[in-house]
Structures are given as C-alpha cells and as structure tokens.
Amino acid sequence: MLDLLPSALPATVTATPARLLRRLRGAPSPVAGRTVLVTGASSGIGEHTAYAAARAGATVLLVARRAEELERVAEQVRALGARASTYSCDLTDGEAVDALVVQVLAEHGAVDHLVNNAGRSIRRSLSESADRFHDVERTMAINYFGPVRLTMGLLPAMREQGFGHVVNVVSWGVQIKAPKFSAYLASKSAIDTWGRILAREARSDGVHVTNMRFGLVKTPMIAPTKEYENQRAMTAEQAGQQVLRIMEDLPPAWGHPVGYVGEAMNLVAPGLLDAVMHQLHQRIPDSRR
C-alpha cells in the first residue's frame, strides 16, 4: 500500500469494548458459521484475511487469478479446521465476474462478508503519464469496476437474507491526496465513495459497508518499490487480523491516524498541505515499473 509520510503512530489491531466483552464471556466470533469471500486471496492481505476468518470459524471462499496459489491457501485454511473453496477469476473480465457470482450463489447461497481486496498500485507522476492512459484504465478495472460489479452481483442475496457486509480495502492516500499516485488513488477514491453511498442506501436492508484505509502494509504489491524497504509498516498477518476485527464489529470506516490528520489538513489548510506534498513529490522518484 501507499506510504509517503513517516508513520507517527504504528498501525495496530484495534480492540473495541464489544470485542473485549466477548472475550471475557468466552463467546465465539460473530464471523463463526458465516461465509466470507475474499478477493486477491492468493497473497498478502487477502491470504491472511482468509486465515484469520478460518480461525474464527468461517467458511472461506478464495478468489484470485492464480489457481495454484489459491489451492495453497485453501490447504492452509482447511488445516485450520475451516471449509474453503477456490475460484480462479480475472476480476477485470466482466463476464468472468458475472459467472463467478452465479457459481458462488449456486454453491453457497448468500455471501455474508465480501472483502474487496484485490488491487493494483501504480506510482507514476502525471508528467510521465501523457502517453499512458492505460494506467488509468487498468487501475480502474481492478480497483473499481471489478469490485463494484462483484458487489452488485452478490448484493440482492444479502438484502434478501437481511444481512451482508462489504469490506473495501482502500488506502490512507484517499485522505492525503498523495502525489504520484493519481491513477491508483482515483480508483480507490471511487470505491471508497461508492461504498459509502451503498451503506446509506442499503442500511434498512441490514447491509453494512466498511472502507478500510490502510497505511503501508508489507505485501508483494510494494516489493518493486525499494524506497519502502525501511519504512514502518503493518505486516500482512496484522492486516488480515484487522480485517477480521472489522468483520466482527461492522464499523463504517477504519484507518491510520496519519490519514485522518491528512484529511483534516485538506479541510483547514489545503494550501499548506499542497506545499508539503509538492516537496515530497520532488523528493520521491517515480516507480521503475
């Protein structure tokens, strides 16, 4: 994930009063017995979300392009005592997404928790993007159009059963408006806004939406960016645990403190933040990929 500012506070797994009370009572996780579908489940946040959900007693549906890696994750989920099903799917292919929805509903009925985690990041200045409109197209395809299409396909069954939860894995960059990530953050801002509107429209149907605005997480997606090597970051395992907590508590949003500071600065001192971000833009090189 994106990291352009030093993390003044480490990202941690939250502990709410409701969760602490459940632990004191020895109650099972609210996710136990539910069906959780995770996209981008072959590595990183998605993989570790699958393990966390499995430990909580959920049935886990794993979606990604790489069938062999999905089966590896599924074997680990089953070793944890949970049921797992794998679905190899390119979420940028609309017809494939529609077929996935039909298959999942036929095999499992309604999905209780949908974790829209699959995504792509591109770090490139607009000055270097004049002949690269495909950067915009490919980030929108996987970060916005894919999850929206999948969510819309699964939504009627959620409404019919009176419960559903959509988790959108986003980025604190949508709050900070960080330079060099225009294509990536535009797509993540789109799903962030779409998710909030869905939550307000589907509230009476029992459908919840949480936008998770992560800071930097150590996943394969950030590996090509050498500048991230020494940055403080959440591990993929910690991120997966946090997604589980969000599925248990159903908040409308969750994020890193630095993101909320950036969001406030955009409101109260946008010119100052523009100047700071311009300095960062000049100091940080474009990605080599």
DSSP string, the chain: ----S--SS-------HHHHHHHHHTPPPTTTT-EEEEESTTSHHHHHHHHHHHHTT-EEEEEES-HHHHHHHHHHHHHTT--EEEEE--TT-HHHHHHHHHHHHHHH-S-SEEEE---------GGG-TT-HHHHHHHHIIIIIHHHHHHHHHHHHHHHHT-EEEEEE--THHHHT-TT-HHHHHHHHHHHHHHHHHHHHSGGGTEEEEEEE---EESGGGTT-GGGTTS--EEHHHHHHHHHHHHHH--SEEE-HHHHHHHHHHHH-HHHHHHHHHHHHHHSPPP--
Is 184 marked active-site?
yes
Q: Say which of 51, 184, 228, 260 is annotated catalytic.
A: 184
Catalytic residues: 184
